[in-house]
Amino acid sequence: VLNLILPLTIALFFLSRRPPARGLLAGIIGLEASAIVVTFSRGGFLTLAVTTMLFLRTLYRWRERKWVFAALALAVVAVPLMPREYLDRLDTLTHVDTEASAAQRVESIRFGLPYVLSHPLPAGLGVNTLILGEERASEGRLVHVRITPPYGVKEGSVCPEPCVEVHNTYLDYGIELGWLGMGLFLLLVVSCIGGAARVRERSAGIPRLRELSVLAEGIRLTLVAFAVAAFFNPWPYRPYFYYFAGLAVAAGAIYEAETRAAEAPARP
């Protein structure tokens, strides 16, 4: 969630003109980035790295190069200050066999992906099937449906073994809703990212819509952050994405309304 809030916070920083507001937002940005590190999340680190690189590219295009150099310098200074345990955990990204949870995530993908590929129709196992299974497992009750080696469905089994939790939003959609449901979700994600990008590009050259352009870029990068983080988290049907998808739609509606207002003939 912190990775989803961070791009919008950065966008608000560049929209602000008052020094106190900018100082407050800069502090919030630092806290959000630090909190992502403190979670020791590998997926969080990868998402942060992707969105940071994309935002630096955007700043370079906006000719805000002083902020690009400042961010790079801060990153160089921050790396030696990171806890050794955090760096060791990041090392498991390339050495998954050295850490149990990393190996389990890879194993879940290996079992979940073949299941999705081999079950295009009918429409999966049903909405929230995996989530209900997780809740029942945490309560010590029987799990009705879980993905198990070799990607079959285990009825009435008790977790944790041999059940595998699939930590991938896209695979969760594919398992529960089939190819059609997964495809519609992917189409929604891509269309929202594209919509925010179009608003950013079209409003960038209009001085009175500069703020909308900056905000649209923050929304776009938030959606990109979700798209990346979804590879590492079981987030189907949770509201995170839909909040920011709604913002992308709203940004498009604002742009269209402003454009129509500018093109309307002045009343005598």
- Annotate 73-136 with DSSP letters as a single string: HHHHHHGGGS-HHHHHHHHTTT-GGGSHHHHHHHHHHHHHHHHHHH--SS--S-TTHHHHHHHH
Count Cα atoms within 13 angstroms, Cβ side, for 76: 6
Residue 265 is predicted with a pLDDT of 65
Lowest mean pLDDT: which of 8-17, 168-177, 252-261? 168-177
Q: State yes or no: pLDDT of 26 exceeds 70.
A: yes
Q: Determine phi and psi for 78, rounding to 5 degrees.
A: -75, -30
Domain ranges of the chain: 98-157
Dihedral sign for Cα atoms in the order 54, 58, 63, 64: negative
158-183 residue pLDDT tens = 344 445 567 888 888 888 788 888 89
pLDDT band at residue 1 under the 50/70/90 scheme: confident
Cα–Cα distance, 46 to 191 (Å, whole number): 23
pLDDT of residue 122: 52
Q: Is the dihedral of CA 233, 87, 48, 57 positive or negative?
A: negative
pLDDT for 126 beyond 60: no
Lowest average pLDDT, out of 64-68, 118-122, 201-205, 226-230, goes to 118-122
> What pLDDT is stored for residue 127 in this prediction?
52
The whole-number pLDDT of residue 222 equals 96
**82-86, 162-166, 254-258: least confident range:** 162-166
pTM for the model: 0.79
Q: Answer whether residue 147 shows pLDDT above 50.
A: no
For residue 88, the model assigns a pLDDT of 75
What is the C-alpha to C-alpha distance for residues 38 and 11, in angstroms, rounded to an integer? 23
Contact 138, 174 (CB under 8 A): no
